[in-house]
Chains A and B, each alone.
Chain A
Amino acid sequence: EVVMTQSPATLSVSPGDRATLSCRASLTVISNLAWYQQRPGQPPRLLMYGASTRATGIPARFSGSGSGAEFTLTISSLQSEDFAVYYCQQYNYWPYTFGQGTKLEIK
């Protein structure tokens, strides 16, 4: 199965600053890569798919880039509600696989 590796495990950033999260796949997944946000006690929420397409209702401060095996999620000007855990997930191969998550915390 495709192993998804996210870095860093924890990222400490101040509100208003930019956050950059990374995701690497063990095989090329083309652009079949999604990002999710999960707040405590809530289900995951789709942020991005096709590596760079924002899901419905996702603010423009979220952007995704990359293709092949290296991907980035950037959040510009962090808001208080953005502090959460972020997961990447590939849907190019069965089984679907998720990264282990990056916890974005307030600095």
Chain B
Amino acid sequence: QVHLQQSGPEVKKPGASVKVSCTVSGSSLGELSMHWVRQAPVKGLEWMGGFDPENDETIYAQKFQGRVTMTDDTSTDAAYMELSSLTHEDTAVYYCAASTRRGYILHYWGQGTLVTVSS
């Protein structure tokens, strides 16, 4: 049973950066492809980026290009999403979601991390 455990809530000031972690158990990070999806308050789901198994690279949504970095640490089975230059519009719950390594379907989801951007 794959489980994704995310780090706790964050409060950041505008202009700051935030780094959210997602730790895998029940499998290893090397067996998964990690994606990040966010959900602003009372809004829908927005894909931020994830691993493309066909080209072996991480792809970012154009909206977040240059501002987001997604990394994996296979030694600790933890994935990270760092978002910089935060604005109030970045206030949202951030989810990690995973497919199998060569797959595309988001079978597994973390519990979510609330990031609040407030001055």
> Which A positions have Cβ atoms within 8 angstroms of B?
32, 34, 36, 43-46, 49-50, 55-56, 87, 89, 91, 94-101
Residue ID in chain B nearest A53 by CB atoms: B105
Residue ID in chain A nearest B112 by CB atoms: A43
Residues on B with C-beta less than 8 A from A91 are: 104-106
Residues on A with C-beta less than 8 A from B104 are: 32, 91
> Which B positions have Cβ atoms within 8 angstroms of A?
35, 37, 44-47, 49-50, 52, 59, 61-62, 95, 97, 104-107, 109-112
* Docked-complex contact B35 and A43, CB < 8 angstroms: no
* Docked-complex contact B35 and A45, CB < 8 angstroms: no
* Docked-complex contact A94 and B107, CB < 8 angstroms: no
Residue ID in chain A nearest B110 by CB atoms: A43
Measured CA separation A45–B35 after assembly (Å): 15
Measured CA separation A100–B49 after assembly (Å): 18
* Docked-complex contact B59 and A94, CB < 8 angstroms: yes
Residues on B with C-beta less than 8 A from A96 are: 35, 47, 50
Closest 4 CB pairs of A and B: A43-B109, A96-B47, A98-B45, A95-B61
Given contact pairs A94-B52, A95-B62, A34 touches B44 in the complex (Cβ within 8 A):
no
Residues on B with C-beta less than 8 A from A55 are: 107
* Docked-complex contact B106 and A98, CB < 8 angstroms: no
Q: How far is the CB of B113 from chain A (nearest CB, A)?
A: 11
Residues on B with C-beta less than 8 A from A89 are: 45, 47, 106
